[in-house]
Structure 1
């Protein structure tokens, strides 16, 4: 997870009293000082608006040419087996997401019951996927739940950051593999030479391997806005990669099984396209990447008709986003109701005991 423009991001190793900025850190600090104040933030906003505007234009053109009768027929053509498979893969994806918090708690040497970690993780992702602003919404939901087991705001913030890093590690690893092994299929989609997909894939995997080696050969600490955060070692990092890849494969698989028959795209290059669509959705800051994700997938997936792909995307949005959102709200409501009832029951028991005495 990359820090914001005004974050302080320094690497330290044990034995050094103070973190010394590396050459790349000094370069970026110097560049930041030379730019006008707020320039990087303005560039980020401009990039988000540009991505969203382009996606809106592509999506608008696509929707204007759709036949709604064909769209309804595409919905009807989706079998019950496809929907059940998508539901099962979505459930597996959210199950792997709960592992993000479990590994974070293990790394922080902090204990919490699995049911608490699972509820915090599931609810935070189900809500942030739909409402957007994941740093705020995820942290708020996690703090509401973890505060009951005596975790403070700083610990919850560390869990949120750790989970975000896990998500992006999985994204980058899958993207690198997809670009390399699906290079020919991707080249057939966008018309670019195969090597223009292999080169970024190799660079991405090289960066992933460098990060893995960097955090495993020695204990590392980063400073984020003056706060020291210890990076995980070998075992937690392996767990991060495994959980990130498993979650992403299940999430993309939940959409893949909904695609109409005859789509000439194998799973590996499809996952690469899925990751790119997710990244563009994140850049746009649209809640759940809505609109941007759909426009990217409609443009990239070869199919007999846009209606058939759009039907799959809408079903996926319902299964992977909306249903978990409703379930998360219900679970949070039930959990809060049970907690209030337990408090009320204890209070009534004390009153009865005092009167009987």
Structure 2
């Protein structure tokens, strides 16, 4: 494995892929500090505090509204009809949902792959896949991506000799990938399904189309901006080079595949009477995800469900709720449990490899010259 020159040789002693030893005293604190470092004087700090307060109020407002809508909706749910909706879900729907979940998480591994290319770090795909899958599976369920996904990434990538600053940059680039795809899907949906979406958001079709054109124009402008020359940005106090045209295009493609597959999981589980095409549904799904992220609720729970229950034009609320619950189980809970199993297996293998190496050295030391 080729390692960037910033990695000290002594950190690589005894490393054997995923089973290698952890570097001596991996500095998790410095990794987290990469995100929290602040520059500028008092004015800069004051602006950051004001922005934080406004963002917190906005998030609380979204969460409060979602809770109100969810409680109001659940109050009219018939438990018997909800149970019947679960029973009506066919095996082929569940199999399709499982397959699309696998496709979504496979695309998510590409997020880390693109980021590693941008950072010029060479890491085996097995390591990238483990770090990506486990970090996203845990983050999607628990929320707080800086603490959950970031810590998991640090634990795994530090074994491969990646520095804390590089891991922090990787996390930021992966986050940008997700948002690029969200903007693209929302823009295309608003432009080409303006009339259908207007029945859901109650905006005039031409307003939806104008919003979509503006969003797509902004995305194209960003693509041109990063293509003409190397672009640098400063995020939370550290400097980061943005991906160029090829990698940004790859980011958009990967994110679209991921989000469409994730939307397909829920779409496959919906009752047959939903009456909404997948193109429109994908835009609605992305909008609900964006609200869930903005609320800072773990996994967008409550906010996502309230949005889908309110927007989807399906007569049976019980059918939608049953689909949402199964979606949580298939797309969130199963990967979450599998992620912890993989982390435990990886740690067990690493410990066993360390023990076997120590036994081998002890035996070789006792052998006569």
Distance 1:114 1:36, change over 3 A: closer
Partner of 1:330: 341
1:165 corresponds to 2:176: yes
Partner of 1:110: 121
Q: Secondary structure at the match of 1:302?
A: coil
Structure 2, unaligned runs of 5 or more: 1-34
- For the residues of structure 1 that align with 2:108 and 2:234, how far apart are their CA atoms? 26
Partner of 1:356: 367
Distance 1:72 1:198, change over 3 A: same
- For the residues of structure 2 that align with 1:283 and 1:112, how far apart are their CA atoms? 32
Partner of 1:231: 242
1:39 corresponds to 2:50: yes
Partner of 1:88: 99
Partner of 1:186: 197
Partner of 2:71: 60
Kept in 1, the 8 Å contact 2:36–2:236? The answer is: no
For residue 277 of structure 1, the aligned residue among 263, 288, 311 is 288
TM-score w.r.t. length of structure 1: 0.90
Q: Deviations over 1:156-201 (max 9, x none)?
A: 0011001000000001011100111111111122333111211110
- For the residues of structure 1 that align with 2:108 and 2:148, how far apart are their CA atoms? 16
TM-score w.r.t. length of structure 2: 0.87
Bigger shift: residues 34-43 or 117-126: 34-43
1:340 corresponds to 2:355: no
- For the residues of structure 2 that align with 1:183 and 1:7, how far apart are their CA atoms? 42
Kept in 2, the 8 Å contact 1:5–1:41? The answer is: no
Q: Deviations over 1:211-263 (max 9, x none)?
A: 00000111111122442211111111111011011101000011111110021
Q: Secondary structure at the match of 1:38?
A: helix
Give the CA RMSD over aligned residues. 2.0
Distance 1:36 1:336, change over 3 A: closer
- For the residues of structure 2 that align with 1:36 and 1:328, how far apart are their CA atoms? 39
- For the residues of structure 1 that align with 2:337 and 2:122, how far apart are their CA atoms? 28
- For the residues of structure 2 that align with 1:332 and 1:112, how far apart are their CA atoms? 18
Kept in 1, the 8 Å contact 2:37–2:238? The answer is: no
Runs of 4+ in 1 over 6 A off after TM superposition: 4-9, 32-37
Bigger shift: residues 150-159 or 343-352: 343-352
Q: Deviations over 1:94-145 (max 9, x none)?
A: 0000001111111111100000001001111000111111122211110100
